[in-house]
Structure 1
Amino acid sequence: MRPRILVPALALGGVCALGTALLVSAPDSDAATTSAFGATGTPKERKNVKPVLQGSAVERSAQQSQKSLAKAGLSVPSGWQPVQAREERHEDRPVTVVRYERGTRPTPGGEHITTVVDGEGTLLGYTRMTLDAATSSAPSDAAAEKAAFAWMKRFVPEHAAGLSLQWVDRHDEEVRDRSGAKRTVSGAKVKSRHDNGLYTWVIVDGKGAVITYERDIRWDGSQGRRATQMWLHDKWIAAREGNGPQPASPYARA
């Protein structure tokens, strides 16, 4: 059985309002209808869509994304809106994964801002895969380290106090524009290890702005790859849903 997916309906004045339809669990044989895109790039029709009551637990969890971003000093640009919210797990923690786009429907591989938030409002993941981000260059290692740790000390000081730097290196991701052309989002990845044995990293651009943030990530040394789920990454989600190949390490097993 697949997790439930909440599909939003509107945005007001640039402030996202979570919406009105829930894609309930369906048999695995129907997996391609959840997020698969056909050869023409047109989303396939979704099934089993039913109303979601306003104020429901699912809706409240999705709205928490906005509060968590504000606490981190991050935001969703005006004109963007939530196109999908899904109930998943980050290790053994229930989380809500909210995806924002410029349009009204998910476009895997395209521009998106995605958050992963647990039931207590903890921001476990954030990424800004946008064409605007693709215009920035990567900073120096020293500048990236300074920016990443300064941001975490403001946002999550108790968590940051338990972190020790592992390494800093350039990190590139790809995002497709509306024509399907690939664009590169470049930054410097600042990877750190927490006293609890889990990993945290921040990817910052040339201006020191956060592109990606993930925390409480477990590494599978025997497999040479990440063990924790990868809800910020479209390639991994596609593999998990049967719509793409398993990405090579260090991607987690889908």
Structure 2
Amino acid sequence: MPHRRPLAALAALGLAAGTATANVAFAETGVRPAAADSAQPAAATIGAFMPAGYREAGRRAAVVDGKAAELVRYARADGRNATLGGEHFSTVIADDGRLKGFARIDLDLVGRPLPTREEAQAIAMDFLREAAPDLLPGMRISWIDPHDEPLRVARNGRSENLTLTGMKVKMRNEADGLWMWVIVGADRKVMVFERDIHWISFPGRRGTEKWLHDAWLVEKGYSVGQS
């Protein structure tokens, strides 16, 4: 678990829980709330963040908190690290067309310097303004810190377990009590986005399914082929 900056320090940045309101974030980043119905289509967001040289590898029906959705997985066209646990770009889209999240797990992002907390916040706010503006009015930042994702790769005929790190901006939607986060990669682009996450106990066990997480797919015995 990465070390989190003390709340007193976060408060100085306007980021501490209970003080980091959306208005503070907007004042710092210059981002203003957009109308809830002005989110760009999921396809536009996916197209903007999918790495070059990826193609669809499979899709399956998914259920997110009791509602129908679809998981679509993209892998490198050259087949590099294409198995579960390896490189991928995956999306979850609800039946109503809403983008519930995506993950860009790419070897090219490993071991590079991360954005600062301030940079990550600005990038996250810009992303939400374009892709999910309905989240902005009730958004409150909880913390901003490095976050690790596992990545298994093949090198010289051997498998290696690596760590892909991004800067995570974790937020709560006070309008409905659900959680969301944006993880910014070393290339200063969004690496992971998840929204509408609920917890059975907090901190503790997540209640919302983890369709974007390969370890969870393996645990559940799910494949990502045609459903």
TM-score (norm 1): 0.64
Structure 2: distance between partners of 1:73 and 1:102? 15
The alignment partner of 1:83 has SS state of strand
**1:232 counterpart = 2:208:** no
Aligned counterpart, 1:42:
none
Aligned counterpart, 2:198:
218
Q: CA deviation at 1:137?
A: 2.5
Label 1:196 to 1:77 Cα distance change in 2 as closer, same or farther (>3 A). Answer: same
**1:183 counterpart = 2:162:** yes
Aligned length: 177
Aligned counterpart, 1:170:
146
Label 1:169 to 1:222 Cα distance change in 2 as closer, same or farther (>3 A). Answer: closer
Q: CA deviation at 1:74?
A: 2.4
Is the deviation greater in 190-199 or in 173-182? Answer: 173-182
1:94 to 42, 45, 68: 68
Q: Taking every aligned residue pair, what percent have the same amino acid on both sides?
A: 34
Structure 2: distance between partners of 1:72 and 1:190? 20
Aligned counterpart, 1:30:
none
Q: CA deviation at 1:221?
A: 1.3
The alignment partner of 2:96 has SS state of coil
Q: CA deviation at 1:79?
A: 2.5
Label 1:84 to 1:75 Cα distance change in 2 as closer, same or farther (>3 A). Answer: same
Structure 1: distance between partners of 2:113 and 2:199? 28
The amino acid of 2:183's aligned partner reads: I
2:137 to 158, 161, 175: 161
Structure 1: distance between partners of 2:101 and 2:213? 11
Label 1:133 to 1:221 Cα distance change in 2 as closer, same or farther (>3 A). Answer: same
Task: Answer whether contact 2:49 2:190 (CA < 8 A) is retained.
Answer: no
Structure 2: distance between partners of 1:193 and 1:124? 15
The amino acid of 1:87's aligned partner reads: A
Structure 2: distance between partners of 1:108 and 1:155? 27
Gap regions ≥5 residues in structure 1: 1-66, 244-254
Tell me the alpha carbon deviations over residues 34-63 of structure 1, each in whole angstroms, 9 at most, x when there is no partner: xxxxxxxxxxxxxxxxxxxxxxxxxxxxxx
Q: CA deviation at 1:178?
A: 2.7
Label 1:222 to 1:79 Cα distance change in 2 as closer, same or farther (>3 A). Answer: closer
RMSD between aligned residues = 2.3
Specify which structure has the bigger relative contact order, considering alpha-carbon pairs within 8 angstroms and separated by 6 or more residues.
Answer: 2
Structure 2: distance between partners of 1:99 and 1:221? 29
Aligned counterpart, 2:104:
128
Aligned counterpart, 1:200:
180
Q: CA deviation at 1:135?
A: 4.5
Gap regions ≥5 residues in structure 2: 1-40
Structure 2: distance between partners of 1:88 and 1:207? 30
